[in-house]
């Protein structure tokens, strides 16, 4: 079997906070194949944005490996970093913040070309920008506009245009539709899927919106306080979630219909502990309705719970599946 496009192995990231170590990510491992989409879900402070930044080498990785097509990315020399920058792009949540307000949309989208395709003539680059604008559903006429003249949805399309103009192999999307209205959100999700098919790129799609992740992902990773709770194929995760946290998350999503069915995993009324002081044992035990003594003492390992489904819970075998 050929090596996956991206293999993250035992990744640890920590931040220094008031002379203490905040472990933002602990022991994260997963593979990503070409053309595949991995959804990453979890609540604020779970480490999902840190994961995006670590993959792009925007934060320092404490330990672990990130292999890009079989070679360790974190050891790469500056030239290889350039390769990374060309092959991996990111789309952020707030499109207004990710575009320079003083640069026209065209100039912003052309910037990656200036860096990586400097051999091309200005006219060639301009044609490329126009084509990319069309590709993301914006008219080439928008090239001379400034970000403040665009709507939120248009701005996000421009940010996507900038991210895909080099035809990256991997697109990391960090909450790309969270700031958008519902009717625009669906347009952007469809656009990302179309682009993915056209370009054959892989995606890491980070979102707190489980329903959106379900629509776009082949597999999904559930994080809590920087640790993997569950990693499973889309169908396994959404049909037969095994981790109590996954189940509680799914159960918390209000359904737009009357008399909606509930799975019945309710969290105790307390909230996520501060990431700087994570609980010992299973990090989720303070909120878990099924926690036993073992959960308070021993960190559960990620184990196989079914085909394409791995779960970090001491009790997953004892818990009823689904309802």
Residues that bind another protein (CB under 8 A): 43-44, 151-153, 181-187, 189-190, 193-194, 208-212, 214-215, 234, 238, 248-258, 260, 267, 269, 271-272
Query: What's the closest the beta carbon of residue 131 comes to another protein, in angstroms?
Result: 22
Q: Which is nearer to another protein, 112 or 176 (CB)?
A: 176
Strand bridging mode 20-32 / 6-17: antiparallel
Query: What's the closest the beta carbon of residue 309 comes to another protein, in angstroms?
Result: 17
Q: Which is nearer to another protein, 136 or 189 (CB)?
A: 189
Query: What's the closest the beta carbon of residue 126 comes to another protein, in angstroms?
Result: 26
β-bridge mates for residue 174, sequence order? 206
Q: Which is nearer to another protein, 114 or 194 (CB)?
A: 194
Q: Which is nearer to another protein, 29 or 233 (CB)?
A: 233
Q: Is the dihedral of CA 253, 255, 256, 258 positive or negative?
A: negative
Query: What's the closest the beta carbon of residue 255 comes to another protein, in angstroms?
Result: 6
Q: Which is nearer to another protein, 1 or 182 (CB)?
A: 182
Contact residues for 218 (Cβ-Cβ < 8 A; gap 6+): 36, 37, 38, 233, 234
Buried b / exposed e over 9-35, threshold 16 CB at 10 Å, is eebbbbeeeeeeebbbbbbbbbbbbee
Contact residues for 122 (Cβ-Cβ < 8 A; gap 6+): none
* Of 323, 319, 310, nearest in space to 237 by CA: 310
Query: What's the closest the beta carbon of residue 117 comes to another protein, in angstroms?
Result: 31
């Amino acid at each position: 079997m050929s090596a996956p496009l991206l293999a993250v192995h035992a990744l640890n990231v920590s931040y220094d906070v008031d002379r203490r170590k905040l472990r933002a990510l602990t022991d994260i491992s997963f593979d990503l194949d070409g053309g595949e989409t991995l959804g990453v879900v979890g609540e604020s402070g779970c480490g999902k944005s840190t994961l995006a930044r670590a993959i792009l080498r925007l934060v320092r990785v404490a330990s672990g490996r990130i292999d890009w097509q079989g070679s360790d990315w974190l050891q790469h020399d500056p030239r290889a970093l350039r390769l990374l920058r060309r092959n991996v792009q990111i789309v952020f949540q707030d499109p207004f913040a990710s575009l320079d307000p003083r640069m026209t949309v065209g100039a912003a989208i052309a910037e990656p070309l200036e860096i990586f395709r400097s051999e091309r003539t200005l006219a060639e680059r301009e044609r490329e920008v126009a084509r990319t604008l069309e590709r993301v559903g914006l008219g080439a006429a928008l090239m001379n506009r400034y970000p403040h003249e665009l709507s939120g949805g248009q701005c996000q399309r421009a940010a996507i245009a900038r991210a895909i103009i080099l035809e990256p192999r991997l697109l990391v999307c960090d909450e790309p539709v969270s700031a958008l209205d519902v009717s625009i959100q669906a347009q952007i999700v469809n656009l990302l899927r179309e682009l993915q098919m056209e370009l054959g790129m892989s995606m890491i799609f980070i979102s707190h919106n489980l329903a959106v992740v379900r629509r776009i992902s082949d597999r999904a990773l559930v994080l809590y306080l920087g640790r993997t709770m569950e990693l499973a194929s889309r169908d396994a995760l959404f049909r037969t979630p095994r981790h109590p946290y996954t189940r509680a998350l799914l159960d918390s999503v209000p359904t737009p219909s009357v008399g909606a069915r509930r799975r019945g995993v309710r969290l105790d009324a307390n909230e996520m502990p501060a990431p700087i002081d994570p609980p010992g044992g299973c990090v989720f035990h303070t909120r878990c309705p099924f926690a036993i003594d073992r959960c308070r003492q021993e960190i559960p390992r990620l184990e196989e719970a079914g085909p394409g489904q791995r779960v970090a819970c001491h009790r997953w075998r004892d818990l009823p599946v689904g309802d």
